[in-house]
């Protein structure tokens, strides 16, 4: 019987890959949860956006206030609205700073 997350003794630990912002994506910090999977996010370009979790990602990750997220601004009204694409862990904050990305503070 094989378990899904079972690691055999002697195997190396699985390495975490850091998702870096690509073209048009911005790092942000969740300032406030607005309900209905919408959040007020302070982005690295000093703009506050109302961001939603797309339907395909709604049950994939849970977001709380002060979480570090990756935001993709909308093509229309991009200065005001966007989509949350990814939620970073606490360890990823230092890695992003080391790579030269701006991480906003609340």
What pTM did the predictor assign? 0.81
Question: Cα separation of 78 and 104, whole Å?
Answer: 18
Instruction: Please report, for the chain, how many H helices and E strands are present, in that order.
Output: 1, 5
Domain ranges of the chain: 26-94
Tens-binned pLDDT, residue by residue, of the chain (106 aa): 555 666 667 666 666 688 889 899 999 999 999 988 999 999 999 999 999 998 888 888 889 999 999 999 999 988 999 999 999 988 898 899 999 988 888 7
CB neighbours of residue 47 within 10 Å: 16
Question: Could you tell me the fold of the domain covering 26-94?
Answer: OB fold (Dihydrolipoamide Acetyltransferase, E2P) (2.40.50)
């Amino acid at each position: 019987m094989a378990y899904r997350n079972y690691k055999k003794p002697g195997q190396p630990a699985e390495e975490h890959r850091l998702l870096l912002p690509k073209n048009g994506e911005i790092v942000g910090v969740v300032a406030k949860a607005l309900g209905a999977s919408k959040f007020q996010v302070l982005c690295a370009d000093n703009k506050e956006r109302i961001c939603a979790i797309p339907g395909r990602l709604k049950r994939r990750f849970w977001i709380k206030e002060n979480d570090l997220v990756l935001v993709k601004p909308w093509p229309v009204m991009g200065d005001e609205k966007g989509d949350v694409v990814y939620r970073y862990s606490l360890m990823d904050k230092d890695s992003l700073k080391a790579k030269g990305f701006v991480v906003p503070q609340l």
